[in-house]
Amino acid sequence: MKKTLILLIIPAVIAFSIGSQSCTKTTIKTVTVTDTVKTTVTVTDTVTQNPPPTIVGFWVGSYKIPGYPDSAYESFDLRPDTTLLFRGLGFDGSTYYAEGTYSVTGTGFTYTFTGINGTNAGAVQTGTGTYSAAGATITGGTFQNVGTTVTGTFSLTKSQ
């Protein structure tokens, strides 16, 4: 029986000693990464060309709408950043104001503005004319009130 007891105790001691020991395993794995990057960078630069300095200033003149007996006063304040401020006398006796932009390409003058007061608030007008730096004039101008049948002509002279 002594022999049997010892045989039973030995496996228990071995099991206890194996179970109470900590065991760690460290695996080191070396990974080599090769990455080839081909990059194309496109840089887009937007250059806003300011209008010729001779067009910048205050312009006065008149406009005419077919079917109305007279022409009416108007002025364009043309700013260096291509902002256009409009002031015009309506055939109803009211003064109307608008704000928009203009551009000059060679002798071609174009504009778009939107009314900011009275019955013309929100109304959009586009126009074109012929610009003469030497004569300080914009002549042969035509305009259209967008979304309507209203058209007309205009001419302006630089006052300052």
pLDDT in tens, 97-109: 999 999 999 999 9
Q: What are phi and psi of 118, to 5 degrees?
A: 60, -150
In angstroms, the CA 6 to CA 14 distance is: 12
The answer to whether 59 and 156 are in contact (CB under 8 A) is yes
Closest CA to 126 of 107, 105, 111, 148: 111
How many other CB atoms sit within 10 Å of the CB of residue 38?
Answer: 4
In angstroms, the CA 123 to CA 115 distance is: 5
Structure tokens at 117: 């007061």
For the segment 121-125, the average pLDDT, to the nearest whole number, is 97
- Would you give the distance in Å from CA 17 to the centre of its chain? 77
In angstroms, the CA 73 to CA 61 distance is: 6
pLDDT in the model for residue 154 = 98
pLDDT in the model for residue 44 = 72
pLDDT in the model for residue 89 = 96
End-to-end CA distance of the chain: 128
Task: Indicate the average pLDDT of the chain.
Answer: 83
The answer to whether residue 39 scores a pLDDT higher than 80 is no
Q: What is 57-158's CATH number?
A: 2.40.128.120
